[in-house]
A and B are shown apart, each in its own frame.
Chain A
Amino acid sequence: MSATTRTQAEIAARVKALESMLIEQGVMTTQAIDRMVELYENEVGPRLGAQVVVKAWTDPEFKARLVADATDACKELGIGGLQGEDMVVLENTDSVHNVIVCTLCSCYPWPVLGLPPNWYKDPQYRAAITREPRKVLREAFGFTVPDEVEVRVWDTSSEMRYWVLPQRPAGTDGWTEEQLLELVTRDAMIGVGPVGAVA
């Protein structure tokens, strides 16, 4: 093991060198790079997953279709694609809480949640969440799951992509879609946090 790690400046130089060679080969262009980045910075993100959740909260027939086949149901809303070609939604209930991880790399449902946060890809989360999920949720996320609620960890080891359908909170009857959207956080759809508080 060489065990040498690079500085940010060294990585940046390496990447620019690699980029220059790939540009000369016609593999990349700066225009296409900028467009791909723009898509994941501004267009594909957890707001899309939140739209699906709110639709499921407010339309029982849609929810039934979503739970039966998340890929098809999301397609109805124009949502799907790279790293979410085959999706399964995990419904939280009074007795089951779901949480996702990829212990072998960093698989994550991009079409509904965007690109994963760094902690999701870091060794620490991947190491601990299958072994001590309640402790991780409590200590890192300030989120306590009662002992009587089963914790189901989903280790994303194939090309299936899982994500969590949180429960609609009590006290939200008559809320508009816009109000409900504000409650659906990225962390709630990963399963590491609750939905937003109902004021």
Chain B
Amino acid sequence: MNGVFDLAGTDGIGPVVVPEEEPVFRADWERTVFPMFAMCFRAGFFGVDQFRHGIELIDPAVYLKSPYYEHWVHTVEHFGEQLGKLDIAELDRRTEHYLAHPDAPLPEHDDDPELLAFVEAVVPAGAPAKRESDKVARFQVGDVVRVIRSSPKGHTRRARYVRGAIGEVVLHHGPMIYADSAGNGLGENPEHVYTVRFRAEELWGAEYAEPNQVVNFDVWDPYLEPVTVTVTTEGARA
């Protein structure tokens, strides 16, 4: 989908502000939200691509103004409601309760050794996205390619600033879970992933590009179409 989360090249939103020092988590509620991703993933709420799409569906004004980890709350709620795992009316009621009584206790509960073991295991092991596939890669390193002009309505990683742009394949990573499929709940359907290198002039125009700059962007095979390159007598690409 085309949305404000697709930020590359957006002007007029202010300078990058870099504090001298900051803690890993700035508030106690961030400490609770961060583990929700892994634990709700384990409980079948979403895969990582769907998790991202839930964030893309946030009200755009809220997306731009809210603290980062609040985005994670929205996506957990989105999938919890969609899957019938969360009653939002009940969540609203409890929110009022804790707003009025911030120190009210959480429900009594026992430790869960299996959940703890999951945390200890998943952090060092991860959840790899590379997959076996008999699909043949349509492109190889050195190929000149164009990102197709297509604006899918659901989840995609086709950022607007590379659509229609011509670049060169510089890395081939092999088949990986296809974000445009998995992120829309349609299964993994692995596709080959490549890194494509674009010159800044190609993305922003010669008059606006900074000198001597490229952007490398990862794409899945269906994002690309081949470009026929004509070499002129001067050796420049036409």
Contact = CB atoms under 8 A, between A and B. Distances in A.
Given A81-B124, A85-B127, A21 B86 contact: yes
Which secondary structure dominates chain B's binding surface?
mixed
A158 B29 contact: no
B206 interface: no
Interface string B120-156: 1011111111100000000000000000000000000
Contacts of A131: 8-9, 11, 200, 203-204, 208, 210
B189 interface: no
B29 A159 contact: no
Given A104-B157, A125-B16, A127-B9, A160 B112 contact: no
B107 interface: yes
B106 A39 contact: no
Given A19-B106, A134-B213, A12 B29 contact: yes
Interface residues of B, number: 108
Given A31-B116, A126-B7, A128-B16, A147 B109 contact: no
B115 A13 contact: no
Given A104-B157, A158-B157, A26 B112 contact: yes
A12 B33 CA distance: 10
A22 B97 contact: no
A115 B9 contact: no
Interface of A: 1-6, 8-33, 35-37, 39-41, 44-45, 80-86, 88, 103-106, 111, 114-115, 117-119, 121-136, 139-141, 147-160
A134 B210 contact: yes
Q: Which 4 A-B pairs have the closest CB atoms?
A: A17-B94, A158-B218, A159-B129, A3-B61
B125 A81 contact: yes
Contact of A127 (B13, B32, B96): B13
A123 B219 CA distance: 22
Contacts of A33: 31-32, 35, 39
A147 B217 CA distance: 22
Contacts of A125: 16
Quick one: which of B17, B157, B216 has the most chain A CB within 10 A? B216
B18 A31 contact: no
B8 A3 contact: no
A119 B18 CA distance: 6
Contacts of B217: 155, 157
23 contacts: A5-B62, A5-B66, A11-B67, A16-B102, A16-B106, A18-B77, A21-B91, A22-B40, A23-B106, A25-B43, A29-B109, A30-B109, A32-B35, A40-B24, A41-B23, A81-B123, A83-B126, A86-B129, A106-B68, A127-B11, A131-B8, A152-B197, A154-B215
